[in-house]
Amino acid sequence: MSSIGQSIGVSAAYATSTSRPRGWLIRRALLAADVIGLVLAFAVTENIFGGITKGQSFSTRAEVGLFLLTLPVWILLAKLYGLYDRDESRTDHRTVDDLAGVFHLTTVGTWVVIAGARVTNFAHPYLVRVTVFWALAIASIVVTRTIARRICRQHSSYLQNTLVVGTGREARLIAKRLEQHPEFGLRVLGFVDSGTGPTAAGVEHLPVLGTLDDLPWLVRSKDVDRVIMGFPNAGHRDVLRQIRELNAIGVQVDVIPRFPELIGPEVDVHTAGGVTLWSLRPFRLSRSSRALKRAADLVLASFGLLLLAPVFAVIAILVKLESPGPVFFRQERILDSRRTFRMWKFRTMVADADERKHEFAHLNVHAQEGGDGKMFKIRNDPRITRVGRVLRRYSIDELPQLLNVLAGEMSLVGPRPLIPEEHAFVTAWRRRRLELKPGVTGLWQVNGRSNLPFEEMVALDYRYVTNWSPWLDLALMLKTVPLVLRGTAGAQ
């Protein structure tokens, strides 16, 4: 068969696949969420101020009509900011990731309305009223988008059948991660490669369904919506041909980058002479950046401690009533290459838990086959009290770490605080994680926390340190909140 005929045959094979319209669903849901959010903000503003305000020469009914006429402009701005297009391609895209875009949308949209009214001399908007609408619009759009995404993720159209091309370490790792995060809506059917690759704990049940040449038939027969390209045992040209064919017929293609341990969300993508390059900026955290991070820690930790003081008192009473012993548990953790500190937590175990650790060593899940011997974790640990189990589930036991933040021993966001026994396994480039203070939360918590093997956790810490920015800290704090509320944050 000629190359043209082969290409036509492959395209025909793909064309029979029926795609689940995740993009169609989520775009319309988010559009509706934006309209509802804007209408709610407008209605509340009208209710607060009511009637005709300063400089306004038309009725409330006319004002409502004019607002409704501006809605297409708001939707157009949202489209230009890419607020409807990222959920289809980005598996872990959340409303938190939209915050900058929503802020820009409402700010620019509000100023466009003000400018239009001033230029045409049609009205003279009252500044306080406009400011209230602007603030309400940001809040309401964020809330309605969150609700819209939650509804969409319960719909069958959101679920995408997924194939992973390759059977190497990276391919098996991404398959494992997708199975650990069902909220991504990706159902991994199996692998595609000419080899079998090493078995990885957690994905032994996923079969190798065929070779790269079988991909057209697999996409058609299994109704595949997304293909993740790892590093298959195939030639460069063959892989490119398949990616182009998949892209042409509307199958979402994700490509695992080379050096995935280094490529973070903050990486810069640019071109040089038509060649795409990823730029890894050197880690040079300036004094002003460190001062900004420390200032944010001080302000937020102080506010948090003041706000949570009554909660601390209640928890202290419950811990005391549950079992004899101190209210707080203090454990040695690594601060940097030379110093350690004592990390504060509410006590969640019986007072002599450390002395009895050897009694339950055989229950350590990491000591079992396929586990990570560098770490210690017992499911349903019998040393945990009833109150402690609740505190751990929602990470309430870690609130006293705000005291460590205030003392300058920890940061709100940072690498995972390690005990000395774990730190002994941190060598070579991994010690870069010590360049920032350990955090109450971080990439390790958002991406699986206690379910992560030690090496992956350390690699995430390295990525955090080398890609640090204030926006990354803000995003990680906001992403931690729903995990804690759902009781899926685990324990340090």
Q: CA separation (Å) from 11 to 104, 216, 415?
A: 41, 8, 47
Q: Which residues share a beta bridge with 277?
A: 270
Between CA 279 and CA 439 the distance in angstroms is 26
Average pLDDT, the chain: 83
Residue 474: phi and psi, rounded to 5, are: -60, -45
Give 294 or 197, the one with higher predicted confidence.
Answer: 294
Tell me how many degrees the CA angle 249-252-254 measures, rounded to the nearest 5.
135
- Kindly state the percentage of the chain with pLDDT values over 90: 33
| Predicted local distance difference test score (pLDDT) of residue 450 | 60
Band the pLDDT of 489: cuts 50, 70, 90: low
- What are the tens digits of pLDDT across the range 29-59? 999 999 999 999 999 988 887 654 554 545 5
Please give the radius of gyration of the chain, using alpha carbons only, rounded to the nearest integer. 26
The number of C-alpha atoms within 13 Å of 269 and in the hemisphere containing its C-beta is 5
φ, ψ for residue 186, nearest 5 deg: -115, 120
* 134 has pLDDT over 90: yes
Q: What is the mean pLDDT of residues 124-131?
A: 79
Hey, what are 139's tokens? 């809040």
pLDDT (tens digit per residue) in 144-192:
999 999 999 888 888 899 999 988 888 888 898 888 888 888 999 999 9
- Please state, in angstroms and rounded to a whole number, the distance separating the CA atoms of residues 62 and 55: 15
- Give 453-465 pLDDT, tens digit per residue: 788 888 889 888 8
d(CA 164, CA 170): 10
Distance of alpha carbon 119 from alpha carbon 111, whole angstroms: 12
| Plot region of 345 (φ>0 → left; ψ -120 to 50 → alpha; else → beta) | beta
Which residue has 């795609």 as its token pair? 19
Encode pLDDT of 388-417 as tens digits.
Answer: 999 988 889 999 999 999 999 999 999 999
Task: Provide the token pair at 176.
Answer: 């494992």
pLDDT computed for residue 56 by the predictor: 53
pLDDT digits (tens, 9 = 90+) for 82-118: 899 888 888 878 888 888 899 999 999 888 877 777 6
What superfamily would CATH give domain 3-18+159-256?
A: NAD(P)-binding Rossmann-like Domain (3.40.50.720)
Lowest mean pLDDT among 242-246, 458-462, 482-486: 482-486
b vs e for 83-116, b when ≥16 Cβ sit within 10 Å of the residue's Cβ? bbeebbeebebbbbbbbebbeebbeebbeebbee
Residue 328 has pLDDT above 80, yes or no: yes
* HEC letters along the chain: CCHHHHHHHHHHHHHCCCCCCHHHHHHHHHHHHHHHHHHHHHHHHHHHHCCCCCCCCCCHHHHHHHHHHHHHHHHHHHHHCCCCCHHHHCCCCCHHHHHHHHHHHHHHHHHHHHHHHHHHCCCCCCHHHHHHHHHHHHHHHHHHHHHHHHHHHCCHHHCEEEEEECCCHHHHHHHHHHHHCHHHCEEEEEEECCCCCCCCCCCCCCCEEECHHHHHHHHHHCCCCEEEECCCCCCHHHHHHHHHHHHHCCCEEEECCCCCCCCCCCCEEEEECCEEEEECCCCCCCHHHHHHHHHHHHHHHHHHHHHHHHHHHHHHHHHHHHCCCCCEEEEEEECCCCCEEEEEEECCECCCCCCCHHHHHHHCHHHCCCCCCCCCCCCCCCCECHHHHHHHHCCHHHCCHHHHHHCCCCEEECCCCCCHHHHCCCCHHHHHHHHCCCEEECHHHHCCHHHCCHHHHHHHHHHHHHCCCHHHHHHHHHHHHHHHHHCCCCCC
For 250-274, how does the pLDDT look when each residue is reduced to its tens digit (9 = 90+)? 888 998 887 776 776 667 777 787 7
Q: What is the pLDDT of residue 7?
A: 44
Find out whether 449 and 486 touch, Cβ atoms under 8 Å: no
Q: What is the pLDDT of residue 451?
A: 67
Q: What angle do CA 94, 99, 105 make, to 5 degrees?
A: 125
Question: How many angstroms separate the CA atoms of 79 and 328, rounded?
Answer: 51
Taking CA 184 as the corner, what is the angle to CA 182 and CA 186, rounded to the nearest 5 degrees?
A: 80
Domain map of the chain by residue range? 3-18+159-256, 22-153, 287-486
Question: What's the chain's length in residues?
Answer: 492
User: d(Cα 457, Cα 211) in Å, to the nearest integer?
Assistant: 32
Q: What is the pLDDT of residues 366-391, one digit of tens each?
A: 656 555 666 677 777 888 899 999 99
Residues 118-152 as b/e (b if ≥16 CB within 10 A, e otherwise) read: eeeeebebeeebbebbbebbbebbbebbbebbeeb
pLDDT band at 294 (very low <50, low <70, confident <90, very high): very high
Q: What is the pLDDT of residue 3?
A: 40
The most confident of the ranges 23-27, 285-289, 438-442 is 438-442
Please give the structure tokens belonging to residue 420: 């000395």
